[in-house]
Amino acid sequence: MAHSIKAAGFVVEPKNGFAIYGIGATEDEAWADVVDAVGYFQDRFGNDISPEEARETQFDIVPATAALMQKVRDEGGQIGWTHVDGIACTDTEEEYGG
């Protein structure tokens, strides 16, 4: 089945991929969502680091579908999701092509 997955914004995932930390219409808006919620960041040794360093070393900001962003709004970031052609989407979108 041909996929019709289309990006409508961005999500922020940690590099280990276990949750979605922020969403937004732009990469900067999605990152601001994370900074507002987290407040401060630490490296793996427990040392405080800047949000800019955390963004570079600990997170990926990727295009995302509207359905995935809505699911995060409705259920929070502890959900299942996947990627199709570099776009984060719900498992249902992957299965049924958008």
pLDDT of residue 2: 53
Q: How far apart are CA 84 and CA 53, in angstroms?
A: 28
Measured CA to CA, the distance from residue 83 to residue 7 in angstroms comes to 11
Task: Write down how long the chain is.
Answer: 98
> What residue spans of the chain are helical by DSSP H?
27-38, 51-58, 66-75, 91-96
Q: What is the pLDDT of residues 38-96, one digit of tens each?
A: 889 999 999 999 999 999 999 999 999 999 999 999 999 899 999 999 999 999 998 87
Structure letter (DSSP) for residue 73? H
Q: What are phi and psi of 88, to 5 degrees?
A: -70, 135
| Per-residue model confidence as pLDDT tens digits over 8-46 | 999 999 998 789 999 999 999 999 999 999 889 999 999
